[in-house]
Amino acid sequence: MCTVCGCANGETKIEAGHGHGHHHHHGHDDHHHDHDHDHHHDHHSHEHVGPDGKVYRHTHGDDHGHDHGHEHEHGHGHDHGTIDLGRGPAGTEVPGMSQTRLIAIEQDILAKNDSFAAVNRQLFAAKGVFVLNLMSSPGSGKTTLLTRTLTDLKGRFPMAVIEGDQQTSFDADRIRATGTPAIQVNTGKGCHLDAQMVTQAVGRLPVETGSVLFIENVGNLVCPAGFDLGEAHKVVVLSVTEGEDKPLKYPAMFAGADLLLVNKVDLLPHLTFDVARMIAYARQLKPNLRVIEVSATTGQGLEDWYDWIGEGLAKAVATR
């Protein structure tokens, strides 16, 4: 939805290296407010992951704003008691906008983001920096897992963190308490980080050659999935205190992930959470998804997680 709703418009606050924040009018105003005439002359194809986790491909040509009535019927499911607004080609519905127009707006926003992501990726590759985009819902234990990771890996290789939240610097302060350089990005009304925010943050953060950069995204299982930050891998953290059906409810997030960390497994004796079922759901969306069960409290599974990071860093350094 963030690819069409413009929720990132407004001010983003990124800390300076000395801790003082800078405000940036950040968003996509120059991209999606000029589509009223609906002129799309380029013949091109577009792929996106739909709400069901499937990849849809659409070809767009010379449509001059001709809205076809059937585009507005996708939200009416055949199951009684269900209104499905994500069945159309755009994967969402907005009152007054056709599916064709929504797709065009999405392409416009993502094209700008992807250009920044490409610059970020080139910079990281040149310096041999292994970059991970950590995503989860709020309360998954992502920050606690990250602080444990930074503490345990201190001295093995250089690390840095970009911390994303809508407000406050609480999590960045926790990261810095481990001795790791971190910069806070407050997204305001925005519910995810984007590649331009990462570009700005990296300019104020000491990212060393041959280091690991953790980007802790805003807690949200929806919007961060759609935005490439220039990372090497997307890592999803799902705690056992959440529903085991989360992968099917938020398919785009799990379909795009390279690693799933099942967190807080020390609590399993007190819960009815079915880990095997959750993993099976996730692998319906991404058959080769790597899964590691971890606990920041007991340390279970952390060495596997650390080995995975170390292997990724070694490859990044070897190919720079």
Between 93 and 49, name the one with better pLDDT. Answer: 93
Output the domain CATH number for residue 131.
Answer: 3.40.50.300
Residue 231 lies in a domain: yes
Same domain, 294 and 169: yes
Same domain, 213 and 312: yes
pLDDT band of 31, cuts 50, 70, 90: very low
Instruction: Collect all residues with Cβ–Cβ distance below 8 Å to 306 and sequence separation of at least 6.
Output: 149, 152, 153
Q: Label the pairing between strands 290-293 and 212-216.
A: unpaired
Q: Which residue has the tokens 């998954």?
A: 140
| Residues 97-154 pLDDT 10s | 787 876 776 676 778 999 999 999 999 999 999 999 999 999 999 999 999 999 999 9
Specify the pLDDT at position 94.
72
Bridge partners, residue 262, by sequence: 238, 293
Residue 242 lies in a domain: yes
> Which run of H or of E encompasses 15?
strand 11-15
Q: Which of 110, 137, 152 is the last residue of a domain?
A: 110
Dihedral of the alpha carbons of 276, 277, 279, 283, in degrees to the nearest 10: 130
What percentage of the chain has pLDDT greater than the value 90? 61
Residue 33 lies in a domain: no
Specify the pLDDT at position 67.
41
Residue 133 lies in a domain: yes
- Per-residue pLDDT at 5 exceeds 60: no
Predicted TM-score of the model (pTM): 0.75
Same domain, 203 and 266: yes
Q: Which of 110, 144, 172 is the last residue of a domain?
A: 110
Contact 125, 320 (CB under 8 A): yes
Q: Which of 68, 94, 110 is the last residue of a domain?
A: 110
- Per-residue pLDDT at 278 exceeds 70: yes
Highest mean pLDDT, choosing among 29-43, 137-151, 190-204: 137-151
Same domain, 199 and 293: yes
What domain range includes position 142?
A: 11-26+118-318
- Per-residue pLDDT at 11 exceeds 90: no
pLDDT band of 237, cuts 50, 70, 90: very high
Q: Which residue has the tokens 């065009």?
A: 104
Cα 80 to Cα 70, 76, 83, 84: the distances in Å are 20, 10, 8, 11
Degrees, nearest 5: CA angle 232-215-224: 85
In 3D, which of 210, 231, 230 has the Cα closest to residue 314? 210
**Residue 17 burial (CB < 10 Å; 0-12/13-18/19+)?**
exposed
Same domain, 59 and 99: yes
